[in-house]
Amino acid sequence: MTDWYYAPNIASALRASEPKCGSTTLITIDGPSGSGKTELARKLSFELDNAPVVHMDDLYEGWTHAFEPVMTERIMAWIITPLLSGLPIHHLCYDWAEKKFNDWRTLPSSPFVIIEGVGAGTTALRKYVSQSIWIEADEELLLDRVLQRDGEVIRDEMLIWKSREASYFELHNVKQSAMIHLSGQTHK
């Protein structure tokens, strides 16, 4: 498994991919919380001419509905259907502090779009995805990274989440289905 920071050929592989979502090359990045998905998406976005990034954290409706069919319906309606029609992505963003969807976000049309976050590798999206990326890190680093980023206040929810994401990964065979496997051991 390659450390993504030292993987200069990732962007080249992504550029060489055939579009499968209309004229868009859709890239998904999935893996355990704290593995470096957001940072990888930021770097790849830059390397792909500032490709728009959809963050799964913006699409979840809090902690409890992330892996339910409503999430797939949301992604299909807000992201996949517009891309298939050649339209910009227009989606609601969840406000974690207010515990509700607040704002609409519009992302520009682009030849590349990245969806990053736990849930991006779900089975239902695969036929639209040109490249799927799995990123992981040692288990002991993952929780520490999340708590450093989001605060100790989410520890209990995160421990429940870790179990739920592991079940999701297994159910959808996410790691095994990914085309590119990376290590987020060092992701600075």
pTM here is: 0.92
Q: How far is the CA of 112 from the CAs of 63, 149, 158, 159, 188, in angstroms?
A: 29, 28, 31, 34, 23
166 falls within a domain: yes
The pLDDT value recorded for residue 63 is: 83
155 falls within a domain: yes
Residue 154 in this model has a pLDDT that exceeds 90: no
CA 49 from chain centre, in angstroms, equals 18
93 falls within a domain: yes
CATH number of residue 167's parent domain: 3.40.50.300
73 falls within a domain: yes
* Total tally of structural domains belonging to the chain: 1
116 falls within a domain: yes
44 falls within a domain: yes
Domain of 14?
Answer: 2-183
Residue 73: other Cβ atoms inside 10 A: 11
Two tokens, residue 16: 């060489």
47 falls within a domain: yes
Two tokens, residue 71: 């999430």
188 falls within a domain: no
Q: How far is the CA of 103 from the CAs of 9, 12, 42, 85, 95, in angstroms?
A: 36, 34, 21, 23, 8
The mean pLDDT of the chain is 91
Q: How far is the CA of 130 from the CAs of 13, 112, 157, 160, in angstroms?
A: 10, 10, 33, 31
Residue 64 in this model has a pLDDT that exceeds 50: yes
